[in-house]
Amino acid sequence: MTSEEKIAALEKINGKLQGEVQLLSERLTTLQQGMVSAALRTAAKNAGVHESAVDDVLMRAGIFEVTADGGAIRAKESVGVTPGITPEMWLAEMRAKSPHWWPAPKSNREYTENPWTASHWNLTRQGAIYRESPERAERLAKAAGLKIGDPRPAQTAR
């Protein structure tokens, strides 16, 4: 076999391998996109996002990627959100920007009865609010003159 024939054979093998690499790369991308979508669906469900708004959440999936070790979903660099945040953190930030993704409160009670005040103290409700939106929890605690984790204030006489 001449050197030209050897080179041609190697180039043929190289071309075939490049095609396989391309196919595997496309499959990896598809799998990673599926992982991101699944993580966003789960985070949206856990955050209480309307089922009808999940497609809107998924349309923004391009801001997330699978980490290099394949173990986590995080926001990409330079996509307009805090780099490295999780889908859960992102949804907490989106609560203020896209309130239509969440159901309306069942009553105005949650706005008038602050669970950090002495008269409406409720640790279960505090925890639920904190899980939904740590920022909102901090605002409500501050409105009651407290910080997250402070003990119940003394009841004032009426």
For residue range 35-65, what is the model confidence (pLDDT) as tens digits? 999 999 999 999 999 999 999 999 988 999 9
- pLDDT value for 14: 94
pTM of the entire structure? 0.57
Write down the H helix ranges in 48-152.
Answer: 54-59, 87-97, 109-112, 123-132, 134-143
Same domain, 89 and 142: no
Residue 72 within any structural domain of the chain: yes
Output the pLDDT for position 147: 93
Place of tokens 């995080």: 74
Tokens of 13: 């093998």
The pLDDT score that the predictor gives to residue 63 is: 93
Which residues on neighbouring strands pair with residue 66, listed in sequence order?
73
Residue 128 inside a domain? The answer is yes
Total domains present in the chain = 2
For CA atoms 88, 94, 95, 101, the dihedral sign is: negative
- pLDDT for position 108: 47
How many other CB atoms are there within 10 angstroms of residue 110's CB atom?
A: 14
Q: What residues have CB less than 8 Å from 67, skipping those under 6 apart?
A: 73, 74
The amino acid occupying position 29 is T
Q: Determine the Cα–Cα distance for residues 82 and 105; give it in Å rounded to an integer.
A: 28
Retrieve residue 88's tokens.
């859960």
Same domain (yes/no): 79, 146: no
Residue with tokens 């990627």: 65
158 found inside a domain: no
Determine the longest span between alpha carbons in the chain, in angstroms.
Answer: 103
Q: Are residues 57 and 24 in the same domain?
A: yes
The count of C-alpha atoms lying within 13 angstroms of the C-alpha of 94, restricted to the half-sphere facing its C-beta, is 24
Residue numbers of the chain with a pLDDT score lower than 70: 105-112, 156-158
> What was the pLDDT predicted at 96?
85
**42 lies in which domain range?**
3-97
